Amino acid sequence: MASLFARLLCIALTTMVAVGMLEANGIGIEIGSREVVGEFREFDYFALALQWPGTFCRQTRHCCSSNACCRGSNAPTEFTIHGLWPDYNDGTWPACCTREEFDEKEISTLHDALEKYWPSLSCGLPSTCHEKHGTCSFPVIWDEYNYFLTTLNVYFKYNVTRVLNEAGYVPSNAEKYPLGGIISAIQNAFGATPLLVCKKGAVEELRLCFYKDFKPRDCVMGSTGQSFVLSSSSSCPKYVSLPEHASSGIQSAETTISWVPGDEAL
């Protein structure tokens, strides 16, 4: 079980997707790896980053027991958690705020939920900085257990997969959906604008943003005191796909975990 949590921390607390140089109306917006290591200034908001397995797992080049993309019929088919990230309005984020070491025993009771809803989608090596983002969640979240528990409960409450399915946006390798329609469905459900990141016309990541009391807010970045909504069209075309995931490689023998309804907290 130790290897599971090492992998989990690698993707949840260490990995940030470097989106690179985006172009919106001819203007480049760079939102890559701008972390503030050792910075103790309190963060401004939370970003819950979700991954779409059907897109992300296309990058799988080889399988291993840690890669949920290789679980066969047990592979994830809904948005899974990438991380809960404390961010600044200027587009940077704090990292490695304390020297606290991760203790897997602290979250052993969350093991099954984390394995299903916060799985590793790669065979990457764990990072040496285990608590890169989680340790920067204070004063809202003070300890390891509540960081993971809070993230899971926010994920369940704001069930993006269910919202999109009910609006008719279902996994398909043939259909393309209007980007504006997907954004509107989430706006109507949660009252805030998400950020979508695409790869080759397919939704790869979707971010929901929250105030520190976990009420939804628009995903924004600030510049010289002024904030603006970072348009998802910067990296996504007008019509996008939500590809179905075709698992390959290892057929997992792990026990299937039942779906936790969106209104059922842990």
Catalytically active residues, by annotation: 82, 131, 133
**Which runs of E-coded beta strand occur in 123-219?**
177-178, 195-199, 202-210, 216-217
Q: Is the distance from CB of 89 to CB of 227 less than 8 angstroms?
A: yes
Q: Which two tokens stand for residue 231?
A: 């348009």
Distance in angstroms (rounded) separating the CA atoms of residues 235 and 19: 8
192, 177, 186, 223: which is closest to 31 by C-alpha? 223
Q: Look up tokens 């926010």; give the residue.
A: 154
Q: Look up tokens 């998802």; give the residue.
A: 232
Q: Which two tokens stand for residue 14?
A: 């260490």
Which DSSP symbol is given to 53?
Answer: H
| Cross-strand pairs, 240 | 177
Distance in angstroms (rounded) separating the CA atoms of residues 68 and 79: 13
CA dihedral 37, 68, 244, 23 (to 10 degrees): 10
Distance in angstroms (rounded) separating the CA atoms of residues 224 and 89: 10
